[in-house]
């Protein structure tokens, strides 16, 4: 009973948060709503007994990803409304809805379940984190290391890409210089296009 | 070396082609002729080693490629493929020897040698995947020959040629995969070996589908009506050497594959589709002959005549009896020799006048008597005069189909009438009459290089017309094995009746041979 | 009232659909990124739920790697976004048409 | 004896190949003499074989295997028996004469060597045709003579009419050859062999309708080669060839191959008398039909060609009525006098500088005495006056018809005999008697070379004595193989009335011809503009009808097939499919507008489509499975 209440509560909250994320025209609202949604999702993980995953969800998403987004948004003008040209909004909703209905249909339809044996059965005697560690560092060791390298690469890439011209601080520069810089980069582009 | 002779035959030209890149431009012709000659003598040696009394595959070689799926490099020859292989080496030799092309000779010779590999590979392959690989590979050099050395519309023609045949063979590939899958279902093992497939008796409805899939691939290659329209373009634009190889060898791949795949794998479907295919064959014969008669370009006449003759071959194949199939295999060789020679001959006049329109000629017989004589002999061979090579095949093919249907054969037999009409009228337009065109007054007769290519063909055309036994005997033995296999595998009553049972008449045969 | 796997899968689907709508609707690249995060998270819920109801860790492992990938994606994607913004001063999708076929 | 057989067979081939070696070389008499010499050798061998056969033996050899596939076994086998030796003698005699004659006739032609090569090749093919011991071997010769006929009709290939006639002959023969092939197919599938001995021994075991069809198809084959109606037009046009060719091929030998076939296949035709009646009726019709066209024609060679056609009709009447030996006998006699007639015409043509219209000649007997004598002799023999060859052979056919109670045929043949006499002597009278009309055209005729006349002499002798001297020994020999039927009219009075009546009728026709044409030629405008005259003069408009009904529509249809069907339907469909694909790409490439947003939308659409498919297939799969359960 408690599980059901928790599920429906968090389901409703998540859906609302994400709907806001998708629908709002304020970038800041969207960011905030998404961060909230992420945290609510970690609740499901806890309900499902995947404690480690829940913790990771909060740390990585809310801690790291959202922080990156927040920093990233500092580059953009976030105070203004996001102006977007909408084309066929109904179409988009219908399409998304249709996809959802179909998947739901597939999910609800009786799935032929023929003796799926668990490769790595959950052992209730061992704690979730410990068990995860066991699996992760035995069977999934290579993917794990690869993921680690990938993260490192991504980190360096992020720094290199975003860090271009970091020697020039946009906040300290005069307005004219920024305009000038933009203009020169614009000509660069037109030159590139000319090629 | 004997046990690897087939592999040597297949890969020697390709290897030689690789080395061809480092040969100097001026000596590449001599190099090409040498390689082709060695290859030709190798193939003759193969013939010498071949035991004509055995009906099965000989010189088999096997090397597993993808053992998980039963794909292996499996090659072998029997009486049916042996002579087409020799024909391939023969025509490559003749083609290179009588080459008059001036542009980028080196590339052309390398391409031809590569093409030779693919042709021999197709006819020697006994594994479906290997067969398919060579089948598709053969398109590339041909595409290159047409596209690089062809006439003004060469790009259109070569793309049409490529896409058309490629589409067909993709469907065929699907058929092959399904066949292998079916084999897997039946035996629990994967195999693409044809000899393994032969042992499989398929349900009739599956036979129908598979037959249709294979049919499309083969029919486009043959080319059968209404899939034939790539051929006139390809011939029209291809350089002489391209047309020669295309007509002499490449078209035979389709008909050969019918005998190798369709008949023994799907005997019931073959019998079920016999009459529809016979109708197509008759349309090919009569319709192509009519279109040939209307042509203004002499090369197109020969091109359409090829379609007409391929109709007779198809008819012979689907006669389902030893006489007809033997005849059709023989006719493949015969048509190869004759149409190859005719294309070479057209090339001779094209080199001199750079036109192929018959209205530009007339009275050539008095200017170029030797040329006219050779052309005349080959034309008569094409028309199917007895004691020339074509007659034996044409006679046997029609004789074979007569067993299946009298009225169809009567209509198909008009081949000998309509064939005479277009050939004679073309010959009349080009060679008879008085020389009206000033440009033709001083044409030179065939020179020594050209005779080098043409005379052997004339000799072969008459020799095999008078004495076809050396070819007919091995062909006959192999065909008997296939017909017997088909009879044994046939399930429907109609197929059992239409495909003769040879095991009963074995005694009768021996008594006949005795006297 | 028992919460079954189906419930979680439906929730996952609904969240995924919201993400899809976002992906289609958004023209602002940053907002588009948000929508992709939603998609990934929707899948994660499904993974974790299947893991739970089947009694197998594989699902959790997948979710785990998805999170790692999402993190990398954000890092690289945002870096590219910033470069693009520096160059053009806009992050509107309708302007990015250099891939026109 | 086998050696003689091979000599008789291959000597002409050697001659042909020898002459072919000099094909492109300038004229040399060597080729002509060598070819003639080899033919003479062939003739001597044939004579030796004849002697051997007269003693009651036959020679049968099998040289080598030709085609062996499945149960089919066809050797190059040759047989010399009573029938084939008759043909061999006819062929070798006439061809030797024609070869020698041609040395003179072709002396001024550039293609001298080529001519002998073709001519000897023809003799070889003819020998194969008559000596073969199976139907397919016969077919080799059959097509071989067709080829040589094509080469020789079109010998002067720069002439449009000659090449056209050559092609016409070849194609018309091909039509008949198809029927013959079908006949051969039927024989093979029903009897399992094509050897004469096997076929004839077993033919009676077949059901009647199959024998009938075999008979009909083989006869259609014979109709083509022997130019029977409706495949007759090529023979008159074939006169475009050099005259010796007409003498050898289109009078004496090749065109009689059809008769030979029917005679050879007599065990088949013996079983199906109904078909025989049809053959005889057609023969009688052709006899009259051809003779009627010969009445008014103004081309010397064509007149003789129609006469040949008419006589072939006679032969078919005899063969159709079962009198095979009579047919063969007339074939032999006809070969001699008709070849002679043609060779004489050749002399006249030479003298007249290739003028063919007898109305432009006249009074040639002064300058060409020997030709006149020989041609008159041949015409008398053709008309069937006692005691020349024609009397014995042709009147015999009339008797056959009478004895067999086919009075209609008899009447037709009798009428034709009269017409034959008339047109033959119309020709002789126009050419050799009356005013020298050719002088107006500035032509001064001269007699042919003496050796040509000597060459013709044997034929002259044979034309006179062939009937009288050979009839009995020939009958005794040939009836070893052919049904021995004697045709005697038992009532002596009837016999004498008939014989004398026929003779008088024929003489009356000759007299009329002389009276009308020997003195002065009066052109009767009224008759010439009459319908009947026009009909006959234009050969019943049949060539024209063929041209309109077959040739032209065929060409039109061919053009249609190429330009409309092949290019506009078949090829256009293929190109259309390619175009549709191309156009689809062209239209849909706007999808790739580079806008990420719209691409994402497309992606979602794709996802939805895939999901729909997944749902649909699963539902379908379940439905099938549930049904199965």
- Summarised one tens digit per residue, pLDDT across range D121-140 is 999 999 999 999 999 999 99
Q: Which one, of D387, D224, D258, lies nearest residue D331 by Cα?
A: D258
Touching check for A18 and chain C: CB below 8 Å?
yes
Query: What is the DSSP track for A42-90?
Result: HHHHHHTT-HHHHHHIIIIIIIIIHHHHHHHHHHS--SSPPP-----HH
Q: Is D73 helix (H, G, I), strand (E, B) or coil?
A: strand
Query: With contact defined as beta carbons under 8 Å apart, do C24 and D597 qualify?
Result: yes
Class of residue D629 by CB neighbours under 10 A (exposed 0-12, middle 13-18, buried 19+) = exposed
Residue B296 neighbours by CB distance under 10 Å: 14
> Per the CB < 8 Å rule, is D595 touching C96?
yes
In this complex, is the C-beta atom of C101 within 8 Å of any C-beta atom belonging to chain D?
yes
Give residue-wise pLDDT tens across range B97-142: 888 888 888 999 999 999 999 999 999 999 999 999 999 999 999 9
pLDDT at A115: 46
What would the two tokens of residue C91 be?
A: 């992050």
Residue D176, token pair as written in the block: 């008949």
A residues 114..133 contacting C (CB < 8 A): 116, 118-122, 131-132
Judgement on whether residues A93 and A151 belong to the same structural domain of the protein: no
Q: How far apart are CA D489 and CA D403, in angstroms?
A: 7
Please check whether residues A108 and A131 belong to one and the same domain. Answer: no
As a three-state string, the secondary structure of B100-138 is: CCCCCHHHHHHHHHHHHHHHHHHHHECEHHHHHHHHHHC
A102 at the D interface (CB within 8 A)?
yes
Which residue's structure tokens are 């061999």? D88
ipTM of the complex: 0.77
CA B10 to CA B14: how far, in whole Å? Answer: 8
What CA–CA distance (Å, rounded) separates B296 from B355?
A: 11
Length of chain A: 195
User: Strands D59-69 and B71-77, how do they pair?
Assistant: unpaired
CATH class assigned to C5-90: mainly alpha
Residue D387's φ and ψ, nearest 5 degrees, are -110, 30
* Phi-psi domain of D353 (left: phi exceeds 0; alpha: psi -120 through 50; beta: other): left
Residues of chain A positioned with their CB less than 8 A from the CB of D618: 106, 109
Contact between B202 and B210 (Cβ < 8 Å): yes
Identify the pLDDT of residue B311: 93
> Using 50, 70 and 90 to split pLDDT, how confident is the model at A183?
low
Asked if residue A170 has pLDDT above 60, the reply is: no
Note whether A106 contacts D601, CB cutoff 8 Å.
no
| Three-class SS state of D195 | strand
**Phi, psi for residue D195 in degrees, rounded to 5:** -65, 140
* C chain contacts of residue D597, beta-carbon cutoff 8 Å: 24, 26-27, 93-94
Instruction: Report whether pLDDT(A171) > 80.
Output: no
Q: Which of D589, D591, D595 sits opposite C97 (nearest CB)?
A: D595
**pLDDT of amino acid B45:** 93
User: Measured between alpha carbons, how far apart are the two ends of chain B, in Å?
Assistant: 40
- Beta-carbon count within 10 A of B25 CB: 9
As averages over each run of 10 residues, the pLDDT of chain D (629 residues) reads 88 91 82 90 92 87 87 89 89 91 86 89 92 91 91 89 90 91 91 89 90 92 88 88 88 89 90 91 91 87 90 91 88 89 88 80 81 88 84 85 86 90 88 79 79 86 85 84 75 82 88 81 71 82 87 89 86 89 85 77 88 83 70
Q: Is B63 helix (H, G, I), strand (E, B) or coil?
A: strand
Query: Would you say B180 and B191 are in contact if contact means Cβ atoms under 8 Å apart?
Result: yes
**Is C2 an 8 Å CB contact of chain D?**
no
Output the six-digit token pair for A87: 């084309």
CA distances from D527 to B132, B412, C38, D425, D430 (A): 78, 48, 111, 20, 18
**What DSSP string runs through B267-331?**
HHHHHHTHHHHHHHHHHHHHHHHHHHHH-SBHHHHHHHHHHHHHHHHHHHHTT-SHHHHHHHHHH
Share of chain A above pLDDT 70, in %: 70
- pLDDT confidence band for A82 (50 / 70 / 90): low
Structure tokens at D278: 């049809």
Q: What angle do CA A183, A188, A193 make, to 5 degrees?
A: 125
User: Is D605 in the A-facing interface, judged by CB distances under 8 Å?
Assistant: yes
pLDDT digits (tens, 9 = 90+) for D56-85: 888 888 888 888 888 888 899 999 988 888
Partners of D591 on chain C (C-beta within 8 Å) are 101
- B vs D: CB pairs below 8 A: 153
Q: How far is B103 from chain D (nearest CA, A)?
A: 31
State which residue of chain A sits closest to D615, comparing Cα positions: A106
DSSP states along B451-471: HHHHHHHHHHHHHHHH--HHH
Phi–psi pair at D74, nearest 5 degrees? -125, 115
DSSP code of D523?
Answer: -
DSSP D68: E
Pull the structure tokens for residue D331: 């074939």
The segments of chain B whose pLDDT lies below 70 read 504-515
Q: Are residues A105 and A158 in the same domain?
A: no
Return left, alpha or beta for C74; rule: phi > 0 is left, psi -120 to 50 is alpha, else beta.
alpha
| Residue A91 and residue A78 in one domain | no
What rounded mean pLDDT belongs to chain C?
85
Q: Can you tell me the distance from the alpha carbon of D53 to that of D59, in angstroms, rounded to the nearest whole number?
A: 8
- pLDDT in the model for residue A127: 75
Predicted confidence at residue C33, as pLDDT, reads 87
* Same domain flag for A77 and A1: yes
Among the listed residues B451, B340, B288, B383, the one whose alpha carbon sits nearest the alpha carbon of residue B84 = B340
The CA distance from B81 to B47, in Å, is 11
Q: Do A99 and D601 touch (CB under 8 A)?
A: no
Number of CB atoms found within 10 A of residue A192's CB: 10
Chain Cα centroid distance, residue B59: 22
- Indicate the burial class of D462 (C-beta count within 10 angstroms; 0-12, 13-18, 19 or more): buried
C-beta separation of D297 from D459 below 8 A: no
- Closest by CA to B408, choosing from D524, D185, D5, is D185
Task: Summarize pLDDT for D446-501 with one digit per residue, the tens.
Answer: 888 888 888 888 888 888 888 888 888 888 888 888 887 777 766 778 888 888 88
Residues of chain D with Cβ-Cβ distance to C32 below 8 Å are 596
Q: Which of D601, D607, D615 sits opposite A105 (nearest CB)?
A: D615
Contacts of D335 (CB under 8 A, 6+ apart): D90, D94, D251, D252, D253, D256
Give me the helices (H) in D355-491, please: 369-383, 389-403, 407-432, 450-478
The DSSP 8-state label assigned to residue B153 in this structure reads T
What is the per-residue pLDDT for B280? Answer: 93
The predicted-structure confidence for B453-475, as pLDDT tens digits, reads as follows: 899 999 999 999 999 999 999 99
Q: Is B183 on the interface with D (CB under 8 A)?
A: no
- Give contacts of C100 with chain D, Cβ < 8 Å: 592-594
Residue B71's φ and ψ, nearest 5 degrees, are: -90, 125
Q: How many domains, chain A?
A: 4
pLDDT of residue A188: 52
Tell me which residue range forms the domain holding A182: 167-195
Query: Which residue of A92, A98, A106 is in closest CB contact with D614?
Result: A106
Rounded to 5°, angle at Cα A74 from A72 and A77 = 115
């Amino acid at each position: 009973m408690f599980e059901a209440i928790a599920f429906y509560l968090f389901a409703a909250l998540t859906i609302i948060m994400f709907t806001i994320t998708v629908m709002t025209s304020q970038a800041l609202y969207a960011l905030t709503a998404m961060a909230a949604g992420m945290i609510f999702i970690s609740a499901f993980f806890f309900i499902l007994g995947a404690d480690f995953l829940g913790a990771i969800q909060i740390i990585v998403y809310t801690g790291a990803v959202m922080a990156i987004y927040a920093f990233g948004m500092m580059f953009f003008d976030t105070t203004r409304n996001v102006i977007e040209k909408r084309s066929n909004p109904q179409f988009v909703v219908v399409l998304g809805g249709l996809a959802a209905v179909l998947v739901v249909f597939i999910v609800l339809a009786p799935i032929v379940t023929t003796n799926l044996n668990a490769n790595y059965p959950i052992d209730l005697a061992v704690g979730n984190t410990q068990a995860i560690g066991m699996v992760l560092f035995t069977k999934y060791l290579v993917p794990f290391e690869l993921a680690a390298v990938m993260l490192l690469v991504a980190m360096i890439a992020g720094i290199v890409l975003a860090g271009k011209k970091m020697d020039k601080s946009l906040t300290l520069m005069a307005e004219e210089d920024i305009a000038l810089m933009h203009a020169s980069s614009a000509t660069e582009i037109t030159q590139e296009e000319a090629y | 070396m004997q046990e690897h002779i087939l592999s040597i035959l297949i890969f020697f030209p390709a290897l030689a082609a690789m080395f061809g890149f480092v040969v100097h431009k001026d000596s590449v012709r001599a190099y090409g002729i040498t390689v082709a000659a060695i290859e030709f003598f190798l193939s003759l040696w193969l013939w010498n080693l071949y035991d004509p009394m055995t009906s099965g595959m000989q010189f088999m070689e096997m090397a597993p490629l993808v053992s998980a799926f039963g794909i292996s490099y499996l090659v072998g020859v029997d009486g049916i493929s042996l002579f087409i292989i020799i024909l391939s080496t023969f025509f490559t030799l003749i083609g290179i020897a009588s080459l008059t092309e001036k542009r980028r000779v080196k590339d052309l010779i390398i391409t031809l040698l590569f093409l030779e590999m693919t042709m021999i590979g197709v006819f020697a392959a006994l594994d479906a995947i290997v067969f398919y690989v060579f089948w598709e590979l053969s398109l590339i050099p041909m595409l290159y020959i047409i596209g690089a050395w062809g006439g003004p519309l060469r790009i259109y023609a070569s793309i049409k040629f490529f896409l058309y045949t490629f589409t067909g063979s993709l469907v065929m590939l699907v058929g092959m995969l399904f066949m292998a899958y079916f084999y897997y279902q039946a035996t629990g093992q994967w195999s693409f070996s044809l000899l393994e497939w032969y042992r499989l008796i398929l349900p009739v409805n599956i036979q129908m589908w598979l037959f249709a899939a294979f049919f499309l691939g083969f029919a486009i290659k043959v080319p059968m009506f209404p899939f034939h329209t790539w051929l006139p373009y390809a011939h029209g634009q291809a350089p002489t050497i391209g047309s020669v190889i295309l007509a002499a060898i490449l078209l035979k791949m389709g008909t050969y594959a019918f005998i190798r795949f369709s008949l023994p794998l799907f005997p019931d479907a073959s019998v079920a589709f016999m009459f529809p295919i016979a109708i197509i064959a008759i349309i090919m014969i009569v319709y192509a002959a009519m279109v040939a008669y209307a042509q203004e370009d002499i090369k197109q006449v020969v091109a359409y005549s090829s379609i007409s003759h391929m109709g007779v071959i198809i008819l012979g194949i689907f006669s389902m009896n030893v006489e007809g199939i033997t005849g059709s295999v023989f006719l493949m060789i015969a048509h190869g020799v004759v149409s190859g020679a005719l294309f070479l001959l057209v090339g001779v006049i094209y080199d001199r006048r750079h036109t192929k329109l018959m209205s530009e000629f007339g009275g050539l017989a008095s200017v170029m008597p030797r040329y006219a004589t050779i052309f005349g002999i080959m034309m008569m061979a094409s028309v199917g005069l007895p004691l020339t090579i074509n007659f034996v095949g044409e006679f046997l093919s029609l004789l074979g189909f007569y067993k299946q249907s009298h009225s169809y054969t009567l209509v198909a037999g008009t081949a000998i009438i309509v064939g005479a009409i277009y050939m004679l009228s073309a010959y009349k337009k080009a060679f008879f009459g008085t020389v009206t065109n000033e440009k033709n007054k001083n044409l030179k007769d065939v020179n020594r290089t050209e005779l080098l290519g043409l005379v052997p063909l004339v000799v072969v055309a008459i020799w095999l017309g008078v004495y076809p036994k050396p070819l007919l005997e091995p062909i006959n033995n192999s065909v008997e094995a296939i017909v017997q296999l088909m009879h044994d595998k046939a399930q429907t009553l109609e197929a059992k009746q239409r495909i003769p049972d040879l095991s009963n008449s074995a005694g009768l045969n021996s008594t006949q041979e005795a006297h | 009232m028992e919460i079954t796997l189906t419930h979680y899968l439906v929730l996952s689907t609904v969240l995924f659909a919201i993400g899809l709508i976002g992906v289609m609707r958004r023209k602002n690249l940053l907002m588009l990124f948000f929508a992709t995060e939603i998609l990934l998270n929707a899948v994660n819920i499904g993974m974790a739920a299947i893991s739970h109801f089947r009694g197998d860790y594989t699902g959790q492992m997948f979710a785990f790697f998805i999170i790692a990938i999402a993190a990398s994606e954000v890092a690289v994607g945002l870096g590219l976004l910033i470069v693009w913004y520096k160059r053009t001063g806009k992050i509107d999708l309708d302007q990015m048409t250099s891939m026109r076929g | 004896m086998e050696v003689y057989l091979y000599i008789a067979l291959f000597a002409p081939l050697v001659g042909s190949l020898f002459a072919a070696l000099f094909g492109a070389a300038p004229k040399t008499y060597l080729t002509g003499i060598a070819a003639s010499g080899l033919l003479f050798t062939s003739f001597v061998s044939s004579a030796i074989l004849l002697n051997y056969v007269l003693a009651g033996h036959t020679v049968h050899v099998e040289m080598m295997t030709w085609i062996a596939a499945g149960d089919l076994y066809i050797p190059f086998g040759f047989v010399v028996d009573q029938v084939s030796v008759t043909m061999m003698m006819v062929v070798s005699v006439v061809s030797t004469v024609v070869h020698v004659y041609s040395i003179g006739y072709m002396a001024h032609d550039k293609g001298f060597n080529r001519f002998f090569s073709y001519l000897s090749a023809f003799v070889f093919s003819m020998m194969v045709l008559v000596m073969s011991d199976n139907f397919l071997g016969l077919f080799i010769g059959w097509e071989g003579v067709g080829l040589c006929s094509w080469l020789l009709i079109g010998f002067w290939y720069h002439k449009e009419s000659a090449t056209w006639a050559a092609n016409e002959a070849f194609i018309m023969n091909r039509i008949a050859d198809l029927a013959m092939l079908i006949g051969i197919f039927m024989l093979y599938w029903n009897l399992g062999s094509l050897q004469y001995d096997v076929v004839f021994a077993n033919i009676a075991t077949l059901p009647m309708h199959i024998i009938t069809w075999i008979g009909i198809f083989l006869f259609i084959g014979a109709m083509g080669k022997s130019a029977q109606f409706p495949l007759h037009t090529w023979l008159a046009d074939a006169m475009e060839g050099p005259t010796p060719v007409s003498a050898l091929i289109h009078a004496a030998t090749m065109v009689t191959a059809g008769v030979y076939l029917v005679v050879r296949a007599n065990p088949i035709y013996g079983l199906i008398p109904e078909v025989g009646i049809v053959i005889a009726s057609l023969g009688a019709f052709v006899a009259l039909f051809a003779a009627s066209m010969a009445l008014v024609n103004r081309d010397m060679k064509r007149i003789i060609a129609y006469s040949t056609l008419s006589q072939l009709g006679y032969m078919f009447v005899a063969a159709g009525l079962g009198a095979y030996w009579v047919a063969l006998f007339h074939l032999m006699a006809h070969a001699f006098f008709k070849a002679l007639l043609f060779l004489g015409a050749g002399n006249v043509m030479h003298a007249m500088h290739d003028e063919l219209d007898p109305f432009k000649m006249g009074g040639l007997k002064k300058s060409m005495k020997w030709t006149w004598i020989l041609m008159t002799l041949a015409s008398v023999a053709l008309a069937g006056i006692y005691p020349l060859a024609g009397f014995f052979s042709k009147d015999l056919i009339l008797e056959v018809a009478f004895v067999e109670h086919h009075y209609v045929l008899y009447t037709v043949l009798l009428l034709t005999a009269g017409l034959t006499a008339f047109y033959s002597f119309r020709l002789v009278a126009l050419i050799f008697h009356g005013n020298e009309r050719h002088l107006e055209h500035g032509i001064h005729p001269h007699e042919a070379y003496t050796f040509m006349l000597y060459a013709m002499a044997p034929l002259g002798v044979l034309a006179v004595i062939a009937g009288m001297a050979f009839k009995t020994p020939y009958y005794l020999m040939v009836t070893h193989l052919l049904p021995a039927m004697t045709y005697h009219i038992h009532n002596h009075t009837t016999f004498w009335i008939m014989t004398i009546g026929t003779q008088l009728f024929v003489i009356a026709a000759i007299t009329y011809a002389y009276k009308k044409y020997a003195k002065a030629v009066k052109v009767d405008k009224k008759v010439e503009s009459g319908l009947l005259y026009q009909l006959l003069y234009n050969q019943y408009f049949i060539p024209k009808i063929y041209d309109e009904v077959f040739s032209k529509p065929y060409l039109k249809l061919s053009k249609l097939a190429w330009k409309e069907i092949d290019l506009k339907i078949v090829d256009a469909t293929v190109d259309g499919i390619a175009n549709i694909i191309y156009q689809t790409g062209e239209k849909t490439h706007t999808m790739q507008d580079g806008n990420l947003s719209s691409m994402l939308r497309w992606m979602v659409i794709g996802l939805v489509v895939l999901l729909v498919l997944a749902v649909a297939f699963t539902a379908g799969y379940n439905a099938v499975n549930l049904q199965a359960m």
